[in-house]
């Protein structure tokens, strides 16, 4: 079930449009009428009476904005600015699951660069200006093809790539991706191996569970092999065996992309806890 926050883009767009119409009507129609009425009142009033309290009250009454016009004029610039920033510049998101551990943890608040992959229309998501394309190793926010909630995963396959996942090892176009063991299984993390994967410009850490089988591979007639088509991207979680990603539901269409996750700006543990800033930094 979707929460009210899921409808925030639609609400913001509607609120901006409504207040914008009110502001425009007042600016181009009612405000000139109020000023004309004030000028007419001034012309009818003898100059000697223009300093009187009665005249000033009458003039203020003529120029006074109706409540709805005042409300629209006050909120429209703020809503319009928020809409532009949120749609074309950056947007905050919160990490809802552990599929990107250890890179991102549940409760991380991240900043998503909305223009890194091109400018898109609010709500519709249609790209109107092409700026760049997702690259291998990017942490990307998108809507998967099978549900309306946003996902956050790492891009491992771009158009034209042949992706294979064999024996807990990622292969791209027939070549294994460089992997270095950082930490073997410990009592604190039984069954988990921490490894540094070299994908893209900088390495990032992943969690692998050597003894956990990938059932999705057993169900596929072609095994763990996928060809990435034009306008598609293959994504995986850094918590490799605890991630619902392209291995299960397929490719991410280009039109479903939201933006590139670039930084952690706060973290909040579940429950009644204050946000902390110890995890702040760029996302690798």
The residue from 87, 114, 153, 246 that is catalytic is: 153
User: Which one of the listed residues 87, 99, 243, 246 is annotated catalytic?
Assistant: 99
How crowded is residue 27: how many other Cβ atoms within 10 Å of its Cβ? 14
Active site residue 260: no
Nearby residues of 36 by Cβ (< 8 Å), 6 or more positions away = none
Report d(CA 178, CA 199) in Å as an integer. Answer: 8
Which of 79-86's residues contact partners 24+ apart within 8 Å by CB, and which partners? 79/12, 79/15, 79/16, 79/19, 80/16, 80/20, 82/12, 83/12, 83/13, 83/16, 83/122, 86/9, 86/12, 86/114, 86/122
Clarify whether 99 is annotated catalytic.
Answer: yes
Axis crossing angle, helix 53-63 with helix 31-44, rounded to the nearest 10: 160
Laid out side by side, the sheet with 175-176 consists of 175-176, 169-172, 162-166, 225-227
Kindly list the catalytic residues.
99, 153
């Amino acid at each position: 079930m979707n929460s009210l926050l899921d409808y925030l883009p639609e609400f913001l767009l509607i609120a901006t449009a409504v207040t914008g119409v009110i502001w425009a009507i007042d600016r181009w129609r009612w405000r000139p009428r109020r000023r004309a009425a004030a000028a007419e009142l001034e012309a009818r009033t003898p100059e000697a009476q223009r300093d009187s309290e009665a005249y000033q009250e009458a003039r203020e009454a003529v120029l006074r904005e109706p409540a709805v016009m005042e409300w629209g004029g006050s909120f429209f610039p703020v809503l319009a600015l928020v809409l532009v920033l949120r749609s074309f510049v950056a947007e905050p998101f919160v990490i809802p699951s552990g599929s990107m551990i250890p890179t991102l943890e549940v409760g991380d608040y991240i900043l998503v660069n909305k223009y890194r992959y091109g400018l898109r229309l609010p709500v519709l998501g249609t790209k109107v200006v092409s700026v760049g394309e997702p690259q291998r190793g990017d942490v990307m926010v998108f809507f998967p093809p099978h549900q309306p909630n946003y996902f956050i995963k790492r891009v491992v396959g771009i158009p034209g790539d042949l992706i294979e996942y064999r024996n807990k090892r990622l292969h791209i176009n027939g070549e294994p991706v460089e992997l270095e063991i950082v930490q073997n299984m410990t009592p604190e993390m039984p069954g988990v191996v921490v490894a540094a994967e070299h994908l893209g410009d900088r390495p990032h850490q992943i969690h692998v569970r050597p003894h956990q089988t990938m059932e999705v591979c057993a169900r596929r007639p072609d095994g763990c092999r996928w060809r990435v088509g034009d306008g598609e991207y293959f994504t995986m979680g850094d918590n490799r065996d605890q991630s619902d990603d392209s291995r299960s539901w397929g490719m991410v269409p280009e039109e479903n992309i939201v933006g590139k996750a670039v930084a952690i700006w706060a973290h909040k543990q579940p429950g009644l806890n204050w946000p902390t800033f110890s995890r702040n930094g760029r996302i690798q």
